[in-house]
Amino acid sequence: MTSITLSAEQIRNAPVDIRHWIEREFLTSIAQRPKSEEVNKTHTAQLAACSEQDILAILSQIQGALPVVNVLFEFGRQGMSVGQPNIEAFSLLDIAHHTRLHNVAHVLSCLDLINQTTGRVRNDAAAQFCGFDREGHCFIRRETQQNISLVWQNVIANQQYELQTRLPLGPDVSEIGGNDAISQAGQQPTQGAGEGQAAE
């Protein structure tokens, strides 16, 4: 196995994708999965189990902020198991990478807005969309993850349907002479009687 050593300056000057990869590898080396005892400290009792209607309501309030929408739909992916029933974990670095946000701080800003919106939608200021640990993970209810996935699938299906209905259609055969027009295509016009003869 080959190993390399990079200086801090080389890491800073590396492309964004490479920096994200280095960050993920570093975090993986010190903690591959979130620990269940850390999940206990995220006050999972306050995590909302969002229904499909809740997700649609949240989406309607954040749809003007595309980065926030992208972060929300990242939770449509299957998360990591954390040893607690109905709780799934996600890496903040992975979310930043998938949504092309510059860093985890931007992800946290988006999640803060989603948390606030969740409280408004559920009429409960204490309700939280997600919680966090100290190792770069966030947690949501499995029911929430499943309903985000369902909403995402419906969004894609609707977009595909709209695209298909907007495709230009060919001309209606009946409007250009029907089958007769097709059968006559390619035939040379016949000359009338006496055409081409010299006048007497």
Portion of the chain with pLDDT greater than 70, in percent: 62
Residue 124 has what pLDDT? 92
Q: Whole-angstrom Cα distance, residue 41 to residue 19?
A: 29
pLDDT tens column, 133-165: 888 889 999 999 999 999 999 888 887 777 777
Portion of the chain with pLDDT greater than 90, in percent: 42
Residue (of 25, 2, 22, 26) closest to 13 by Cα position: 22
Residue 108 has pLDDT above 50, yes or no: yes
Threshold 0.75, pTM exceeds: no
Tell me what the mean pLDDT of segment 87-93 comes to: 91
Residue 57 has what pLDDT? 96
Tell me what the mean pLDDT of segment 83-109 comes to: 89
Residue 82 has pLDDT above 70, yes or no: yes
Per-residue confidence at 101, pLDDT binned at 50, 70, 90? very high
Residue 190 has pLDDT above 70, yes or no: no
Contacts 24+ apart (CB under 8 A), 123-130: 124/48, 126/46, 127/46, 127/48, 128/43, 128/46, 128/47, 128/48, 129/47, 129/48, 129/50, 129/58, 130/47, 130/75
Sequence-separated (6 or more) residues with CB below 8 Å from residue 88:
78, 79, 80, 81, 82, 139, 140, 141, 142, 145
Domain ranges of the chain: 35-165
Name the strand (E) or helix (H) holding 45: none
Residue 26 has what pLDDT? 57
pLDDT tens column, 12-40: 677 766 766 666 665 555 444 555 555 55
